Amino acid sequence: MPPLNSLAVQLLTIATIILKININHESIETPHDQLRSAYHFIVVGSGSAGAVIANRLAENPKVNVLLLEAGGPTSVHNDIPAQASTGALFNSEYDWNYTLTPQKIGIAYQNHVIAENRGHVIGGTSSFNTMIFNRGNRRDFDRWAKEFGAQGWSYEEVLPYFMKYERNMDPLVANNGFHGTSGPVEITSWAYPPPMVQLHQRALNELNIPNTDINGANQLGTQIMQAMIDSNGRRTSTSNAYIDPNPYPHNLHILPRALVTQILFEGKTAVGVQFLRYGTEYKVFAKNEVIVSAGAINSPQLLMLSGIGPKEHLHQMNIPLVADLPVGDNYQNHVGVSANFLIKEKYYDLLSVAGQMNVPQLYDYLSSKTGPLTQQYRMGVYYNTKNNNDKQYPNTNWETGLYLYPTNLSDARAFQHEDRHAWDVFNTPSLGRYYFFVHPILQRVRSVGRIRLASNNPLYYPLIDAGFFTDPKNLDLEDMIEVTRAAFFFYERSSIAPFLEAGQPIPGCHFCPDKQYVYQCEPYIRCLIEQTGYASYHPAGTCRMGDPHRHDTVVDPQLRVKGVERLRVCDASVIPLLMNGNTNAASIMIGEKCADTIRHSHTL
């Protein structure tokens, strides 16, 4: 599905006003005359973790909480699931629009730049992402506790927090002992998957890939993935699940469009923050703690701007040192590659998925919350490569969605490719056609990168080096080649293959003339990875949690920043080792657990 066309945008805007279908998201802002000069707790960032923490702390009416968010409120554009599924929210006002420094992959993109899309909005990336509900493998969390000294974060210890926030609406999944049914975050299954999707799953089963609940007892296999979408066809974010509308307006104050530029210290004690709002600088103070929940990119940036980070780097940036810690190191992200498989037109009757976001579909959504705009179309397959010894701990996967190509080239340019003419020629035969998009993804990455400041000016974006495919033994590349070949084998040789057309090589790459199938042509697979490789929008690890005596940790298992007082980091940046899943689900869990830890430490 393409982004909204201009007519649909106008219809949506008019309908939002006339039908009053949009909650007044702007009302989330606390009036200026109600703001205080000091709060018990200041939470920086309203994302997947921050909104949770602010809500849970404010449950106590005697506790005053200030929640600061650099972005603005959400809108109906965030609420419609199909808006995210098409990538229409990327590179919009809801996106920080970060980019990576040049990597070994992404060669086809303009100026060799890979996007690192992150939510710049109330609810953070949970108001912006593709809503996939994927916690990760139980072994991930056990490794956090055993290998990194993150005591209290084993699978059995974090599972109750996953279940606490979850309200799973699918009885086939909800009652297997691994899910919650009464939390604030509603999880639903794809109500009516079309026949083509059912054929897709059956073809996987024929290859001995079983159906599974990827968040249950066994991750290995395939699932028509659940999503953070409520029963009314609306995105479930931490914004609308926890803070919008504000459940505690008396003691929870929320201030959007407030960019925190520095944590204020008295000696080694955090006492407040400084922030910019509409060009004016403000200071506000914390009686108990400052909690940084700005995400895996913004949290390390803010710590370094405030004097917490690598000593030599801060010296280069002329920032006075408060604590010498490896902030910004250990950047981890899943890396993926893109491929598309066109569906033969004679099988379109098996789709029953209207891919164009058009006036009839908008009417269905706005009037009755029905139709394809309420859904998120993803299937997932977890896969073991030969380098993986633990077969219940799969190290790769591929995600598949069922979509419709845009009908014009301008909308087809999701990424600006270096050779636009060649890519336009490549895309033209696909315009207006249905297709499976396929994203092979490396789940257990060995390569790590880092984040550093580009300037001591907080308005400058940080430098984000993902370090993709830099592991010394080159095993990440081996695994990516293998899972990509496995995906191509499935779409070329399984029982789904007769429904699909043979593809053409992407610009810059060539099929092997002596091979019948693409999966047999390793040079093409390597070229595809180099040309179209991208970041899977799951950055983590840049304020690593673990044993406080380790030299590579920034926060202890209570998420307190080492070497200072009254400062915690609670978001995906504390993840010691990137999990086999999307970071959103784990970040909400981190928010729930962090809030519990804070309440216990202050006997709230």
Residue 518 DSSP one-character state: G
Does position 7 have pLDDT exceeding 60, yes or no? no
Q: What are 151-168's pLDDT values in tens digits?
A: 999 999 999 999 999 999
Q: Which of 176-185, 368-377, 479-488 shows the lowest mean pLDDT across its residues?
A: 368-377
In this prediction, residue 480 carries a pLDDT of 98
Tokens of 153: 């974060």
In this prediction, residue 438 carries a pLDDT of 96
Q: Sorting pLDDT into bands at 50, 70 and 90, what band is 3?
A: very low
Q: Which residue has the higher pLDDT, 494 or 91?
A: 494
Closest CA to 228 of 571, 588, 558: 588
Does position 145 have pLDDT exceeding 50, yes or no? yes
Q: Sorting pLDDT into bands at 50, 70 and 90, what band is 414?
A: low
In this prediction, residue 509 carries a pLDDT of 97
Q: What are 10-27's pLDDT values in tens digits?
A: 555 555 544 444 455 778
40 noted as active-site residue: no
Tokens of 230: 């409520």
Alpha carbon distance 372, 82 (integer Å):
7
Mean pLDDT of 599-603: 93
The DSSP element (H or E) to which 19 belongs, if any, is none
In this prediction, residue 413 carries a pLDDT of 72
Q: Sorting pLDDT into bands at 50, 70 and 90, what band is 9?
A: low
Alpha carbon distance 11, 33 (integer Å):
36
Q: What are 272-312's pLDDT values in tens digits?
A: 999 999 999 999 999 999 999 999 999 999 999 999 999 99
Q: Confirm or deny that 260 is annotated as ligand binding.
A: yes
Q: Which residue has the higher pLDDT, 358 or 436?
A: 436
Q: Sorting pLDDT into bands at 50, 70 and 90, what band is 405?
A: confident
Q: Which of 179-193, 401-415, 498-512, 547-561 shows the lowest mean pLDDT across its residues?
A: 401-415
> Given the DSSP bridges, would you call strands 339-342 and 335-336 parallel, antiparallel or unpaired?
unpaired
Total-model pTM: 0.95
Q: What are 60-84's pLDDT values in tens digits?
A: 999 999 999 999 999 888 888 887 7
> Given the DSSP bridges, would you call strands 65-68 and 252-255 parallel, antiparallel or unpaired?
parallel
Does position 441 have pLDDT exceeding 50, yes or no? yes
In this prediction, residue 357 carries a pLDDT of 62
How confident is the prediction for the chain on average, in pLDDT? 92
Q: Which of 538, 549, 551, 600 is catalytic?
A: 538
Q: Which of 173-177, 249-253, 419-423 has the highest mean pLDDT?
A: 249-253
Contact 596, 55 (CB under 8 A): no
Alpha carbon distance 497, 517 (integer Å):
12
Q: Which of 55-69, 335-349, 350-364, 552-566 shows the lowest mean pLDDT across its residues?
A: 350-364
Q: Confirm or deny that 121 is annotated as ligand binding.
A: yes
What percentage of the chain has pLDDT greater than the value 90? 81
In this prediction, residue 346 carries a pLDDT of 96
Residues whose CB falls within 8 Å of the CB of residue 317, separated by 6 or more in sequence, listed in order? 304, 453, 455, 456
Per the omega criterion (within 30 degrees of 0), is the bond before 245 cis?
yes
Closest CA to 119 of 584, 476, 598, 600: 584
Domains and CATH numbers, the chain: 22-76+238-326+542-601 (3.50.50.60)
List b or e across 12-49, with b for residues whose CB sees 16 or more CB atoms inside 10 angstroms.
beebeeeeeebbebeebbbeeeeeeeebbbbbbbbbbb
In this prediction, residue 118 carries a pLDDT of 95
Neighbours of 180 (CB within 10 A): 19
What percentage of the chain has pLDDT greater than the value 70? 94
In this prediction, residue 103 carries a pLDDT of 96
In residues, how long is the chain?
Answer: 604
Does position 113 have pLDDT exceeding 60, yes or no? yes
Q: Which residue has the higher pLDDT, 6 or 255?
A: 255
Mean pLDDT of 23-43: 89
